[in-house]
A and B are shown apart, each in its own frame.
Chain A
Amino acid sequence: MDDRDDHLMRCFASAFPSATRDEIRAAKTFDAIPGWDSLRMVNLLAVLDDEFGIQIDLPEVLDLEPFDAVKRYLSERGLPAKELNG
């Protein structure tokens, strides 16, 4: 896992505190992440906005594998991260 992946994983882990990193990576959809609820989803979106300065358009990623989908979404937008190394 490179620095960028690690930073992104930190974002997911902070929003879904009861899920392990493996569970987050393996989840096929957002609601399959252990502990998922709408409030945690809101937290994830806010953390991603805070950390990378990007507002995720939820419908674009909602039905995809969460971690990879968000990673791809950020990459496509040039990842204007404040700090890649988190």
Chain B
Amino acid sequence: MELPSAWAQFCNVQLLSKREAGDRSRMNLIDALESLKAPAAVNARPLRVFLACGFTPLHLETFLAASLRNLYPERRIELHSGLFGDLIGNLERLRPEEHDALAVAIEWADLDSRLGLRALGGWQVEKLSDIVKSVDQSLERLMSALREIPLSLPTCISLPTLPLPPLFYNGTQHSSAYELNIRRNLASFAEKISSECQIKVVSGQRLDEESPPGKRLDLRTEITQGFPYKTLHASVLGDLMAELIFRREPKKGLITDLDDTLWAGILGEVGVNGVHWHLQERAQLHGLYQQFLASLASAGILIAVASKNDATLVDKAFERDDLLLSRTSVFPIEAHWRPKSESVQDILTKWNVLADSVVFVDDSQMEVAEVQSAFPELECLVFPKEDYPGFLELLSHLRNRFAKTAISEEDAFRTQSIRNADGFRESAGRERTSLDDFLQQAEGRLTFHWGKPLDDPRAFELIHKTNQFNLNGKRYDDAEWAQFLKDSGKYLVTVSYEDKFGKLGRIAVMIGRAAAAKFVVESWVMSCRAFSRRIEFHSLQYLFERFGADELVFELKSTSRNGPMMEFLQQLVGGSLEANPQLSRSSFLRKAPKMPHHVEEMSASG
């Protein structure tokens, strides 16, 4: 059933348009300048970004600063740049400790000035081999400079974005061996800095989509001002670089419909073998969608089903061995005839995540509107079953919503872990034994990982995605996290758990500092999957013992979501929870229940 567009709009149904697919609308120079005109708050912390480029940074600097301003409204953006015409030297002279992030914009002239349009070094045939060689040498020098940049300084880089000048004798329609050689070396360089130096490389494909390659160069301003970009290109590039510096919190889960979404056809009408997702059945979009969801699941994204359907038929359909999304990658499956919003509520409860971390996809605008009205924070999208360009835009949009910079060990078994947690809760509710006995029989093993591994993103990820059992909602940007990792006065403990129901992986993080006989807890988060196991009590006991503390001080702050943490501390500390409540060791031991798990400690690097 189609909804009138006004109603769909009223219900905030999101129908992806081409403009939304890129997740942006371009900022004009006037908008960028105006946004930078507004003063930052008096006490705003600076965000110091070094823009390394060989050209005059001019409008790229303006757009980068304006985009960062939009992404970090609470920070005072400070952009610095180096000497004109010396990109590599600027990187070699960089003092990383003076900056919070680094953005590098390479252009051809930085690799050999003869590839730019401001130098007259000659394009004779006999010089072409030397240009190729010189580019290779510059890339090596650039690589050496980038290897000196500490991993703790968030860095993004854009490879040359402008067209090569017409210097090769083959003609512009024919890629010369020289050009191919240069591009191969550049690609090899990019692969190395991405994998070895963990530098984020601006996507050339995305740049091409938003800034047509043939319309990027402004030869007039290149020659008169040393700035080679048209403003559209500077705007797009500045925005993409800002996004790479800024770490967006990915969504956690996707809830999908089945009929005419995960597959083509209505299961209840055509039966298990009548639904399709293959090319020969003209249902390829559904096959691609399944393949995409399987990819998300393998990256640790939760996938669930909300379908108005017969549950038995759905079970049978999921037994088909040609389904690209395996049954084990999906949890839970809510198949019944009640409203979809009820299914969504059940799924959110089982996942124990909030609606704003989840995306809902359904081919019916009616269903989407019903769910959206019940969960305004949920991102609800219509599956464009007959719209080929719209379908590809949906996939790109979803990929960006669930984007991760790295895949952790926990990602591999997140769905299974949630399933285990659900089994644990069900068993705990079913068993007639006391919780003490039940936990004892669960054979839980807790490991406290002690230390600050530089190359492990899990602690950072947990702090950023956990809302409910969260001491104060404090988030760190990349630069703050890097600073924390370097601070020897602050401690990081991550906690992993497994029991006979399965492995939960690393599910909690504690950050704090010792102060005489006290230990101040600055951040403390625990995944909702780990609730009801008394892991929180074990964690406090660990802190008391590890630091020999007589008292724990909690930098507690109430947020709109951290009710479970507030309740937990209320139970231990008692009275009204004022700023920085304290808990003595004796009081803790008096109030803590029996702690049933086997505990061990490991170095985080081991």
Taking Cβ atoms with an 8 Å cutoff, the residues of A that contact B are 10-11, 13-15, 17, 39, 42-43, 46-47, 49-51, 55, 86
Does more than half of chain B's interface fall in helix, strand or loop, or is it mixed?
helix
Closest to B34 in A: A14
How many residue pairs, one in A and one in B, have C-beta atoms under 8 Å apart? Answer: 36
Residues of A within 8 A of B62 (CB): 43
Residues of B within 8 A of A51 (CB): 28, 30
Docked CA distance A15–B33 (Å):
7
Contact between chains at A14 and B231 (CB < 8 Å): no
Residues of A within 8 A of B220 (CB): 55
Residues of A within 8 A of B221 (CB): 46
Contact between chains at B231 and A43 (CB < 8 Å): no
Supply 15 further A-B pairs (C-beta < 8 A) apart from A14-B34, A49-B231.
A10-B34, A11-B30, A14-B33, A14-B37, A17-B37, A42-B58, A42-B225, A43-B29, A43-B59, A46-B231, A47-B29, A47-B30, A50-B28, A50-B231, A86-B30
Docked CA distance A13–B37 (Å):
10
Docked CA distance A31–B34 (Å):
21
Would you give the shortest CB distance from A67 to chain B, in whole angstroms? 16
Would you give the shortest CB distance from B583 to chain A, in whole angstroms? 51
Closest to B227 in A: A42
Residues of B within 8 A of A50 (CB): 28-30, 231
Taking Cβ atoms with an 8 Å cutoff, the residues of B that contact A are 28-30, 33-34, 36-37, 58-59, 62, 220-221, 225, 231
A to B CB contacts below 8 Å, 25 in the list: A10-B30, A11-B30, A13-B34, A14-B29, A14-B30, A14-B37, A15-B33, A17-B33, A17-B36, A39-B58, A42-B58, A42-B225, A43-B33, A43-B59, A46-B29, A46-B59, A46-B221, A47-B29, A47-B33, A49-B231, A50-B28, A50-B30, A50-B231, A51-B28, A51-B30
Docked CA distance A55–B30 (Å):
15
Residues of A within 8 A of B225 (CB): 42
Would you give the shortest CB distance from A13 to chain B, in whole angstroms? 8
Would you give the shortest CB distance from B533 to chain A, in whole angstroms? 57
Closest 6 CB pairs between A and B? A14-B33, A17-B37, A14-B30, A50-B29, A50-B231, A47-B30
Residues of B within 8 A of A39 (CB): 58
Would you give the shortest CB distance from A45 to chain B, in whole angstroms? 9
Closest to A40 in B: B33
Closest to B37 in A: A17
Docked CA distance A86–B58 (Å):
23
Docked CA distance A42–B29 (Å):
12
Docked CA distance A43–B59 (Å):
8
Would you give the shortest CB distance from A39 to chain B, in whole angstroms? 8
Docked CA distance A50–B232 (Å):
9
Residues of B within 8 A of A10 (CB): 30, 34
Closest to A17 in B: B37
Would you give the shortest CB distance from A20 to chain B, in whole angstroms? 13
Would you give the shortest CB distance from B301 to chain A, in whole angstroms? 40
Docked CA distance A56–B225 (Å):
15
Would you give the shortest CB distance from B36 to chain A, in whole angstroms? 8
Docked CA distance A55–B231 (Å):
13
Would you give the shortest CB distance from B224 to chain A, in whole angstroms? 9
Would you give the shortest CB distance from A62 to chain B, in whole angstroms? 15
Docked CA distance A76–B33 (Å):
27
User: In this complex, which of B29, B58, B221 has the most chain A Cβ atoms within 10 angstroms of its Cβ?
Assistant: B29
Closest to B221 in A: A46
Residues of A within 8 A of B231 (CB): 46, 49-50
Docked CA distance A15–B30 (Å):
8
Docked CA distance A6–B59 (Å):
23
Would you give the shortest CB distance from A86 to chain B, in whole angstroms? 8
Would you give the shortest CB distance from A81 to chain B, in whole angstroms? 12
Closest to B35 in A: A14
Would you give the shortest CB distance from A6 to chain B, in whole angstroms? 12
User: In this complex, which of A13, A47, A55, A86 has the most chain B Cβ atoms within 10 angstroms of its Cβ?
Assistant: A47
Docked CA distance A49–B62 (Å):
16
Docked CA distance A17–B33 (Å):
8
Residues of A within 8 A of B59 (CB): 43, 46
Would you give the shortest CB distance from A32 to chain B, in whole angstroms? 20
Docked CA distance A86–B34 (Å):
13
Docked CA distance A50–B221 (Å):
13
Residues of B within 8 A of A43 (CB): 29, 33, 59, 62
User: In this complex, which of A14, A42, A51 has the most chain B Cβ atoms within 10 angstroms of its Cβ?
Assistant: A14
